[in-house]
Amino acid sequence: MERDQSLTEEVKEYCEKIGIDVVGFANPDLFDRFQEQNRPQTFLHNVQTIIVIGFHLYDPILDAWNYYQEEQRSYQFADSIIENFANRVKRYLTKKGFESVVISYAPGLFLKDSAALAGIGPIGKNNLLITPNFGSQVRLRAIVTNAPLICGDPIQENKYCEDCEKCITACPANAFVDGIYIKKICDEWARANWKYLSPYTVVWCNTCIEACPFTKKPT
């Protein structure tokens, strides 16, 4: 199967045109390390490329979560934004004659790992993707497609963290045990310490992202 350089550039240009800040392409053959339910072939049997897109969370308010318990309604603003971007990319590829599936947040692909496999950036000590332009201040989504796009080089080594431990020392939950991030500790502390914007809207802890020297601050 020959991959299409021209089509790849067209997809990149379209993503930039509609306001997507980060885009990369991963080879589905690299996902064999994951369980079957977390492989792209589960969602599209003839998949050729995993497109990973992201946008810059330049203001924490974009990451707010709204939950109206009485009506059992839940909204996550950043997810809604990136989902819209993903569906626009899907429609673009459909018009060009390709199949595509937008992968929901969960269950689905491991987005940070997918981004690293697409060559976007490594996963840092904070257990988050670190991008060259925005640090970890990004929200990701994936689209699997049979479009034969040129894939990026997987990133295995982390050149950003090295001897830096700012996220570890800044963590209010002490979620790093011997320098290793423990998700359960982080999650339990974050849920108990939501920042309420209103009775129905909260923002999760963002300390490790803010502490990272590669996070792009608004100017």
Q: What pLDDT, on the 0 to 100 scale, is given for residue 73? A: 83
Which structure tokens are listed for 15?
């993503």
Model pTM? 0.92
Q: What is the pLDDT of residue 179?
A: 85
Q: Determine the Cα–Cα distance for residues 129 and 127; give it in Å rounded to an integer.
A: 7
Distance CA 67, CA 209 (A): 24
Instruction: Dig out the tokens for 129 from the structure.
Output: 């993707």
- From the centroid of its chain, how far is CA 154? 15
Nearest CA to 24 out of 133, 106, 183 is that of 133
Nearest to 175 by CA among 204, 202, 207: 207
Q: CA-CA distance, 111 to 90, in Å (whole number)?
A: 17
- Token pair 């998700």 is found at 183
* Contact criterion met (CB below 8 Å) for 216 and 134: yes
Q: Report the topology of domain 5-157.
A: NADH Oxidase (3.40.109)
pLDDT at res. 218 = 55
What are the residue ranges in the chain where pLDDT is below 50?
Answer: none
Residues 6+ apart with CB under 8 A from 88: 18
The DSSP symbol for 215 reads S
d(CA 134, CA 153): 19
